[in-house]
Amino acid sequence: MTLLVKSLPGLLATHALVLGTFIFATGDCRAEGDDVFQTGSEFAKQIAGQGTGTLQNTNPANVLPNYTDNPKEKGYYGGVTAGDANNLKTDGGTAWGQTEVGQAVTDSVLKNPKEPISHDAPFIQAGKEIEGKAESIVGKTGPDCKAEQVTRSEFTRHVCERDTAVMRTCERATDIGGHYETRYEDRNAHIDKSMIRWWKEGNRIHGTFTAPFTGKLTTGSIYLELQDDLHSYGVPLAFSLLGNEVRYGRQDWGSRPLNVGNVTLTQGQQVDIFLTMDPGGHLDTFLDAMVRQLSGGGGGSPMVFYVKFDGSSSVQVWVPTTSTPADCPLAQEAGAVKVNTVCSEPGGERTVTVNGQTYPVWASCWRFTDTYRLQEAGQGSCDAYANNPACTIATHGCAFSDEYGQCLHENVTYSCETRSTGNVMLCGGQMYCLDGECDKAQKGTQGNDFCARRFRAGRGGGRRQGRGGAERYRCARLHR
């Protein structure tokens, strides 16, 4: 306690000395601020107009590669009419697809992944801070001095490795195929007497006709009528056909059913029909007359006779089909994951010809394009930098690729920013460092920039030099 009391006068003296030094330094800052401002103003007047003159006297062809004062695009500078819009679109597409610049941009978009820059990155935040205090930085051009803070940014580069996401595509085409199906179609036949060949065979009449279709019969009938007042022959008649015997009495005529449920015909086969009668005498005469009437010859009243069949035929019908593989070959590769499928060839109707016959076939899509991810993206040794908002990607290049040229692994260079804050004195638009961090920001070294500026400010004369010497001492005390 006694030691503290004894030291108190010395501490107060030291405090007074430091305060006095700062006051004197501030006064000099004001004086020098006026000088610096005047010097800067005169220099600005000297160089006024030099920038405009440089631009006006420069030949663009000497500094800009491939420069021309008459480009093809010049025709569109004044705007376009509705009729020229298509030409503008066409020329723009051509320039984009065929010029070196357009191809370079397209190649970059397709091959370079998007590398996000965090809004929390220090250089972005620093820009926002400078914008916020711009007035306080550039607005103080008078002799007043004001303490401010400056930020020092140090950038370091780090090289790391990471896996890239490997994407590949493959296609699945829709194939047209088909098969034969057995279908049943209804058939019917009307066999008139004129379609039957008749002749007398012993004591009966024999007739044959050709089966008109192949298939199983379902129903059948026979019809007989003499076209006179009696409608009948007046003698008993019997017809034998396909296992059926149909009888007509002396006064009978009209339709009679045939039991043909188990009968199957083959197109082109000969079908027999037999007719017998019992006229009670003169059989040959009756048979001859009947053959003439059945064959359409003369003699007696006209006759109506026919056989009818109904049935169904089995037919082989070609049925076109479409099939699309569920997966393409990439699905078989280890670790492959399908991430997208698009229809790359729209569907619609097409035709296929089989055995000379054309069939329509329809599909919703004729070709699919699948995208597979064969390797997940991994940050690898870049994880710490990727998650640091102060780090952004400077460059990246492929380390090795697969057999298809797809990059599997790449080397990445990150640029990381480290910020530190220093104190300055802003006098008349001129900045003077007050600590080592500020000096680093200006020179990249430790030092006393404020004192160095004061040393350089001495202009001779005992008092000025004396003040300069005192300032040197005070600066040393301030930053010791």
- Residue 158 near residue 413, CB atoms below 8 Å: yes
The pLDDT-based confidence of 66 (bands split at 50, 70, 90) is confident
What is each CA distance from 174 to 1, 106, 215, 342, in whole angstroms?
A: 99, 31, 38, 13
* pLDDT the model gives residue 40: 66
pLDDT at 7 over 90: no
Handedness of CA 401, 406, 408, 412 (dihedral sign): positive
Rounded to 5°, angle at Cα 84 from 81 and 88: 120
CA–CA distance, 24 with 59 (Å, rounded to integer): 54
Cα gap 226→300, rounded to integer Å:
9
- 56 vs 285: which has the higher pLDDT: 285
Give me the pLDDT at residue 60, please.
Answer: 80
235-260 confidence digits (pLDDT tens) = 899 999 999 999 999 889 999 999 99
pLDDT at 443: 62
pTM of the model: 0.42
Averaged pLDDT of the chain: 78
Q: With contact defined as beta carbons under 8 Å apart, do 424 and 148 qualify?
A: yes
Res. 199 pLDDT band, cuts 50 70 90: very high
Which of 267, 240, 271 shows the shortest CA–CA distance to 256? Answer: 240
What pLDDT is stored for residue 370 in this prediction? 95
pLDDT score for 231: 81
| pLDDT tens digit sequence for 393-417 | 999 999 988 887 888 899 999 999 9
Whether the per-residue pLDDT at 267 is higher than 50: the answer is: yes
279 within 8 A of 255, measured Cβ to Cβ:
no
Indicate whether 437 pLDDT > 70. no
Q: Is 373's pLDDT higher than 60?
A: yes
**In the chain, what are the domain boundaries?**
182-315
pLDDT at residue 338 greater than cutoff 80: yes
- Are 357 and 180 spatial neighbours (Cβ–Cβ below 8 Å)? no
CA nearest to 150, candidates 124, 126, 175: 126
Residue 450 CB neighbours (<10 A): 23
CATH of span 182-315: 2.60.120
Average pLDDT over residues 138-147: 65
Phi, psi dihedrals of residue 442, rounded to the nearest 5°: -90, -40
| Cβ–Cβ < 8 Å for 430, 457 | no
What DSSP state is assigned to residue 378? B
- For range 406-435, the mean pLDDT: 84
Mean pLDDT of 358-387: 93
